[in-house]
């Protein structure tokens, strides 16, 4: 059992936590001397000793831990986690239904604080459950959470096995680490999962990432179903080419995928192959997007659709890219190589700014180039990435479909 301590918070924070703000922040405490071991259960008390909430201490890039309950008597035990997991599964029953019908067999089952369990996510990949731990604090509950999960999964006839990824280190820094098999059956590498009837090769035990970002599922589908037909598409920061696969399946004339990582060539080819698309009819380029843009502008290449989905932050040999600093520049390059009436899909997963600021970047880029545009649609996280109403910054994804006029 994890130890429990009582900690008083400063009076100016009381209301916020009574109003169910879930993230525990360092500055709310009067004294943090007793916070010496991740995983400690903290009772948050008002300055006059009134119980407000209980949570755990776990340092991650955001904050010092998460609130778990507003009931003073509630134990953070197996039953507690069983309830959280059951509720999360019930909320995704449509996804389980789609999985049964082999339409979509990869989705998020539990989304951290969105499912009132900050610091942990659980993804479903065709019967395999992938747990991602974001702090040592939440990881200290591993055995209890695993028991709870296995108990709940007795009901899941598709259950095969459990994997985990640890995205923390002991200094509280955000860190990708090797993924690990936990229990049950071991998955083949790759397993083929489905998403909206599209195949994806997914690696559950291959380092930090599986090969697919599940939060973009609605955007991918939209590209395939509404925009791709007979279009040429440039997919910048393409990773394993997910947007390109969907575009090709939506009838795109040709896709061009650009990513700096050498592995992206093989990974993207593989995704085309598992969907029976001739890789030779597509282009896959390993290059810095900024280099490629320069080249494409010089050569006067034009595309009907350009997808921009950069990481929030990236360092390559020559440049450091940060979304809030460089998105306008990126957009300006994209605008120059987009055909009139063409579509730019501008995406960011940066939690540091909201949709208003993102729209200002778009406005600025077009204005500086004296070009006109129309915003057609915007997307944020899909339904399985449940967001806590009291923690809107958890809805980090912003995707805007822009028509260049
Ligand atoms: N759009 C992808 C996910 C992108 S992840 C998808 O939907 O699956 C970000 C990718 O950007 C990584 O694959 C990384 O290798 C790549 N990247 C980072 N900096 C880059 C740069 N300067 N030029 C090209 N690719 C870059």
CATH number at residue 49: 2.30.130.10
Residue 63 C-alpha to ligand 1 middle, in angstroms? Answer: 27
Whether residue 208 is contained in a domain is answered as no
Rounded CA separation 144/140 (Å) = 9
Same domain, 43 and 173: no
Locate the ligand 1 atom nearest the alpha carbon of residue 258 and give its number. Answer: 24
- Three-class DSSP category at 61: coil
Same domain, 227 and 189: no
pLDDT value for 175: 52
Residue 310 C-alpha to ligand 1 middle, in angstroms? Answer: 5
Same domain, 34 and 108: no
How many other β-carbons are positioned within 10 Å of the β-carbon of residue 322? 15
Same domain, 49 and 85: no
Same domain, 307 and 369: yes
Rounded CA separation 76/144 (Å) = 9
Rounded CA separation 44/141 (Å) = 20
Task: Decide whether any atom of ligand 1 lies within 6 Å of the 314 Cβ.
Answer: yes
* Percent of the chain whose predicted confidence (pLDDT) is above 70: 96
The domain tally of the chain equals: 3
Same domain, 232 and 286: yes
Whether residue 376 is contained in a domain is answered as yes
Radius of gyration of the chain measured on its C-alpha atoms: 23
Q: Is the pLDDT of residue 142 over 80?
A: yes
H or E element, residue 365: helix 355-368
Same domain, 315 and 356: yes
- Domain extent for 158: 78-202
pLDDT digits (tens, 9 = 90+) for 1-49: 789 999 999 999 999 999 999 999 999 999 999 899 999 999 999 999 9
Task: Decide whether any atom of ligand 1 lies within 6 Å of the 292 Cβ.
Answer: no
8-state DSSP, 383: T
Contact 191, 166 (CB under 8 A): no
Task: Decide whether any atom of ligand 1 lies within 6 Å of the 333 Cβ.
Answer: no
Q: Is the pLDDT of residue 173 over 50?
A: no
Residue 145 C-alpha to ligand 1 middle, in angstroms? Answer: 33
Residue 261 C-alpha to ligand 1 middle, in angstroms? Answer: 8
The pLDDT of 361-384, averaged and rounded, is 98
Contact 303, 228 (CB under 8 A): no
pLDDT value for 180: 83
Residue 264 C-alpha to ligand 1 middle, in angstroms? Answer: 9
Tell which one of 311, 316, 318, 397 to mutate to probe ligand 1, the residue whose CB is within 8 A of the most ligand atoms.
311
Residue 74 C-alpha to ligand 1 middle, in angstroms? Answer: 43
Mean pLDDT of the chain: 94
Tell which one of 259, 285, 381, 382 to mutate to probe ligand 1, the residue whose CB is within 8 A of the most ligand atoms.
259
Residue 312: pLDDT band with limits 50, 70, 90: confident
pLDDT digits (tens, 9 = 90+) for 36-52: 999 999 999 999 999 99
Boundary residue ending a domain (69, 93, 115) = 69
Contact 88, 122 (CB under 8 A): yes
Centroid of chain to Cα 339: 30
């Amino acid at each position: 059992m994890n130890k429990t301590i009582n900690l008083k918070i400063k009076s100016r924070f009381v209301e916020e936590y009574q109003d169910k703000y879930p993230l525990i922040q360092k500055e709310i405490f009067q004294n943090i001397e007793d916070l010496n071991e991740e995983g400690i259960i903290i009772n948050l008390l008002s300055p006059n000793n009134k119980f407000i909430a209980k949570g755990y201490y776990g340092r991650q890039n955001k904050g010092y831990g998460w609130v778990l309950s507003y009931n003073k008597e509630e134990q953070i035990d197996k039953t507690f986690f069983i309830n959280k997991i059951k509720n999360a599964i019930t909320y995704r029953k449509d996804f389980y239904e789609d999985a049964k019908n082999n339409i979509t067999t990869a989705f998020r089952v539990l989304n951290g604080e969105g499912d009132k369990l900050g610091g942990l996510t659980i993804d479903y990949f065709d019967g395999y459950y992938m747990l991602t731990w974001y702090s040592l604090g939440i990881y200290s509950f591993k055995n209890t959470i695993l028991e709870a999960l296995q108990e709940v999964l007795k009901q899941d006839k598709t259950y095969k096995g459990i994997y985990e990824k640890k995205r923390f280190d002991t200094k509280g820094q955000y860190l990708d680490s090797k993924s690990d098999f936990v229990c049950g059956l071991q998955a083949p590498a790759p397993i083929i999962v489905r998403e909206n009837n599209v195949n994806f090769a997914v690696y559950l035990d291959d380092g930090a990432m599986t090969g697919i970002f599940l939060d973009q599922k609605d955007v991918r589908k939209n590209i395939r179903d509404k925009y791709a037909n007979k279009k040429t598409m440039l997919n910048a920061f393409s990773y394993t080419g997910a947007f390109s696969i969907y575009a090709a399946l939506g009838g795109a004339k040709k896709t061009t995928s650009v990513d700096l990582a050498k592995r992206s060539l093989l990974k993207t080819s593989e995704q085309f192959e598992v969907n029976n698309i001739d890789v030779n009819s597509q282009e896959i380029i390993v290059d810095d997007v900024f280099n490629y843009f320069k080249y494409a502008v010089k050569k006067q290449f034009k595309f009907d659709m350009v997808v921009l989905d950069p990481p929030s932050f990236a360092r390559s040999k020559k440049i450091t890219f940060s979304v809030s600093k460089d998105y306008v520049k990126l957009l300006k390059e994209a605008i120059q190589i987009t055909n009139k009436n063409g579509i730019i899909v501008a995406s960011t997963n940066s939690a540091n700014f909201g949709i208003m600021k993102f729209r200002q970047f778009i406005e600025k880029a077009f204005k500086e180039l004296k070009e006109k545009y129309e915003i057609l649609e915007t997307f944020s996280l899909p339904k399985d990435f449940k967001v806590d109403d009291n923690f809107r910054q958890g809805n980090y994804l912003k995707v805007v479909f822009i028509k260049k006029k």
